[in-house]
Amino acid sequence: MSRNIDAAVVDGFGDEWSRFDQSELSDSEARRLFEEYFDIFPWHELPPGAVGLDLGCGSGRWARLVAPRVGRLLCFDASSAAVDVAKRNLAGAPNAEVAVAGIDELPVPDDSADFAYSLGVLHHIPDTAAALRSCVRKLRPGAPFLVYLYYRFDNRPAWYRMLWKLTEGVRYTVSRSPKPVRYAASQFFAATVYWPLSRMARLAERLGMRAESFPLAFYRNRSYYVLRTDALDRFGTRLEQRFTRTEIERMMRDAGLADVVFSPHAPFWCAVGRKNA
């Protein structure tokens, strides 16, 4: 049985998190980002001493803020380079354990975890639906699962979707280039595209205009470090799949999740569901 993994993607993320280990991200910005992704997560439902899973932990940026809230946090990533970064970042969290493992080979008993989350990961796996099922299998009945999957701009106007399509050819070419080229190109785009467009959206907001419809408005209050990180993520990743809200809900329900709730704000789409009893 073949593994549900793309080795080139895993290697690329190892390079990304080695370059951007989040050490330059301020605590205040890290917490703002955390709250945006986790605002719909039902913390109050977790049992005392809850044991949870961070699936695709990357640099450990989410785990660093989740660990103090729970009893034990098991963090997994398919990239050994990313795991090395996460171990350094989580050195001050004794209840967080980090190990190398792909989504379809998690060393965790089925029906055991009290909660889990996977943010910005499953859309980079060849079979996203199968990966989602693998995650949910590890949850005990009733346990919540938080997921973030790239959206297909299904809540955006046609011109916005067309603008995104124009960038796809660039992403395809850059993401298949050698690592130094990927890095250099992404940093060029961060400086010449991400920064000016996001700051234009910020200015529009300050002038009383509706900024959400501006391209890259999500980054209008983000630091340049975040822009640089996400530009490499966007243009340096070979495999990127996008889904509509309807498709995500269908995959979640097919994986055995119920009571699916979506966050009403960006980033789109964040959703949480509970494993069927």
pLDDT value at position 206?
A: 95
With a CB cutoff of 8 Å and minimum separation 6, the contacts of 194 are: 216, 219, 227, 230, 231
Please state the pTM of the whole predicted model: 0.95
Q: What is the pLDDT of residue 125?
A: 97
Which residues in the chain show pLDDT less than 50?
Answer: none
Tell me what pLDDT residue 88 has.
97
Which residues, other chains included, contact 137 with Cβ-Cβ below 8 Å and sequence gap of 6+?
110, 111, 256
Nearest to 74 by CA among 126, 25, 109: 109
Going by DSSP bridges, is the β-strand pair 51-55/257-262 parallel, antiparallel, or unpaired?
unpaired
* Alpha-carbon span 23 to 101, nearest angstrom: 24
E strands, the chain, are 51-55, 72-77, 96-100, 115-119, 144-148, 257-262, 270-275
Surface-to-core class of residue 168, CB atoms within 10 Å of its CB (0-12 exposed, 13-18 middle, 19+ buried): exposed
pLDDT given for residue 1 in this prediction: 55
Secondary structure class of 107 (helix, strand, coil): coil
Measure CA 72 to chain center: 21
CATH number of 7-152+242-275: 3.40.50.300, 3.40.50.150, 3.30.43.10, 3.30.565.10? 3.40.50.150
Query: CB atoms < 10 A from the CB of 171, how many?
Result: 19
pLDDT given for residue 120 in this prediction: 97
In terms of DSSP bridges, do strands 51-55 and 96-100 run parallel, antiparallel, or are they unpaired? unpaired
First to last CA, the chain: 29
Neighbours of 188 (CB within 10 A): 13
Quick one: pLDDT at residue 213? 85
How much is the pLDDT for 65? Answer: 98
User: For residue 245, what pLDDT is reported?
Assistant: 98
What is the Cα–Cα distance from 91 to 79, expressed in whole angstroms?
A: 18
Among candidate residues 133, 104, 135, the one with its CA nearest the CA of residue 118: 135
Distance, in Å, from the CA atom of 64 to the CA atom of 94, rounded to the nearest integer, reads 11
